[in-house]
Amino acid sequence: MLVLSRKLNEKLCIGDDIIVTIVRIGGNVVRLGIEAPADVRVRRQEHVEADAKANAERAAGTDPVAPTAVDSATTG
């Protein structure tokens, strides 16, 4: 992992098309601005992990979010 230090309003470039700007620093929170081409997905890691978990649950048939019609009829 590359670790960099940046100050407010400083930028870093990833490849030729992605620019990350330090927009705000406050306490233990850093706000980033990310400029990237439309075809590049920029996501928070916790969302990627949640999606992976949900996909695994669906594949195993244990998706707690989507009850079947039978489940709804028997519990109502």
- The amino acid at residue 11 is K
Angstrom distance (rounded) from CA 38 to CA 17: 10
Q: What is the pLDDT of residue 10?
A: 98
63: confidence class by pLDDT, cuts 50, 70, 90: low
Angstrom distance (rounded) from CA 61 to CA 38: 34
Q: What is the pLDDT of residue 37?
A: 98
Tell me if 29 is assigned to some domain.
yes
For residues 39-63, give the mean pLDDT.
89
Least confident of 10-24, 25-39, 53-67: 53-67
Q: Among residues of the chain, what percentage have pLDDT more than 90?
A: 72
Tell me if 52 is assigned to some domain.
yes
Angstrom distance (rounded) from CA 62 to CA 55: 10
Q: What is the number of domains present in the chain?
A: 1
Least confident of 5-14, 15-24, 28-37, 57-66: 57-66
